[in-house]
Amino acid sequence: MTQFKSKTIAVRTGIESDTQYGSVVPPICLSTNFGFSSFGHPNKYDYSRSGNPTRSLLEKTLYKLEHGEGAVITNSGMSALNLLVSAMVGPDDLIVAPMDCYGGSYRLLNSRAKKRDFKVLFIDQTSPKEVELALAQMPKLILLETPSNPLLRVVDITEICGLAKKIGALVAVDNTFLSPIYQTPITLGADFVIHSTTKYLNGHSDVIGGVVISETKELANEIVWWGNCIGATGTAFDSYLTLRGIRTLHPRMKLHEENTKRILAYLKKQPLIKTLYHPILASHIGHSIAERQQQGYGCMISFELVGSSPQLEVFINELKLFSLAESLGGVESLICHPATMTHRAMGAEALRNVGISQNLLRLSVGLEDADDLIQDLDHAFKLVQSNLSKIE
């Protein structure tokens, strides 16, 4: 598959690979176990926790799309991060992570550090000074999440990987927000890419999954060993659905981004927005880095609404085409209030330090008609305006 471009890899993966019936779409293999050919001679697969044909196909597709050498599909994005740290760090090792990462990643790293499984330092990775001080502590692993969730901060992957190499640290990038269509961190120097495949990769909000992709075969082998050891691997059924989702990843991402641009053009003129966050905006922190290192700006938008909790309530409740729900990256548009939903686990103090305010809202722009989405937002903003006028 290596000679093909990513669109072809995504669409053609496993097509016509069935030798039994010649089925065009690769069949799903649900078996938990596989017979030995004879005593002492296992076949390619023996037990689905350690390896499964349907999961293998998804793993191969993803490491090809991300320019890696191996991958392990896990049963959630969180278990991908958990697998990575289980495999790569021990009690004496330090992990440097972004202070504004996904709330669940923050909780996982913080909770395991409290159990002394490793040490963790959360920093503002957009600050060269903080990065320099953190690297002086000789971390074993640097985790990046760019653009970050929910403030969409962008960090320079090439630069941090260059600094990390000098001190022998490994770099892992959570690429969930962009997918390999818009960013391929391994080509920028990363050792690992992780994803919540729950999001854009599957794209239909019906699978919880994750992946750890490794730059080298050696690292991949270690991750595979640990994936089996701790039982982090994903199911065949979920892998089948995710493969199906990936076949339309390119056109979906393109449409998500077209709609995002239309919505941003509307939101930029909206007086009830205090701050608008998106890497395409020239005013956005890291805009020029995004321009350089990303092939697209992404399809998530965050903004601070004018007012307080009653106005947030009016706004959210009036929306008909943005479902109030966790998660992102599906075909349907969503709205989320990070402080009480996705990032609640961080606690009030960490939220404050990071800059996730009570007024912050996050949109996952779906594939509905952009005119309808804008009309829906416009209606909700108008009701917030009339609510504010009544109070004045």
- Which residues of this protein are in contact with ligand PLP, per CB under 6 A? 76-78, 102, 104-105, 145, 149, 174, 176-177, 196, 198, 208, 210, 327, 342
Helix (H, G, I), strand (E, B) or coil at 353: helix
Matching residue, tokens 């001190």: 167
Give bridge partners of residue 72 from the DSSP assignment. Answer: 212
Of 104, 143, 123, 150, the C-alpha closest to 279 is 150
Q: Which of 55, 107, 140, 199 is catalytic?
A: 199
Q: Which of 63, 102, 200, 240 is catalytic?
A: 102
List the alpha helices (DSSP H) in the chain: 6-12, 53-65, 77-88, 103-114, 128-135, 157-167, 179-182, 217-230, 236-246, 249-267, 287-293, 309-318, 348-354, 370-391
Whether 274 is catalytic is no
Compute the least distance from the CB of residue 102 to ligand PLP, in Å: 4
N-to-C CA span, the chain: 63
Give bridge partners of residue 193 from the DSSP assignment. Answer: 173, 213
Q: Which is nearer to ligand PLP, 155 or 370 (CB)?
A: 155
Compute the least distance from the CB of residue 101 to ligand PLP, in Å: 7
| Contact of 143 with 92, CB cutoff 8 Å | no
Tokens of 285: 């922190």
Whether 382 is catalytic is no
Compute the least distance from the CB of residue 181 to ligand PLP, in Å: 16
Tokens of 178: 């962009």
d(CA 317, CA 324): 8
Compute the least distance from the CB of residue 18 to ligand PLP, in Å: 29
Q: Which is nearer to ligand PLP, 75 or 311 (CB)?
A: 75
Whether 49 is catalytic is yes
d(CA 383, CA 212): 44
Q: Which is nearer to ligand PLP, 311 or 364 (CB)?
A: 364
Compute the least distance from the CB of residue 382 to ligand PLP, in Å: 31
Compute the least distance from the CB of residue 76 to ligand PLP, in Å: 4
Tokens of 347: 């606690």
Whether 55 is catalytic is no
Q: Please, what is the Cα angle at 196 between 193 and 198, to 5 degrees?
A: 145
Q: Which of 100, 124, 156, 174 is catalytic?
A: 174
Tokens of 277: 């966050």
Q: Which is nearer to ligand PLP, 9 or 101 (CB)?
A: 101
Q: Which is nearer to ligand PLP, 109 or 272 (CB)?
A: 109
Count of beta carbons in the 10 Å neighbourhood of residue 159: 15
Q: Which of 12, 49, 244, 261 is catalytic?
A: 49
Q: Which is nearer to ligand PLP, 109 or 123 (CB)?
A: 109
Phi and psi based region of residue 244 (left: phi greater than 0; alpha: psi -120 to 50; beta: remaining): alpha
* Residues identified as active-site: 49, 102, 174, 199
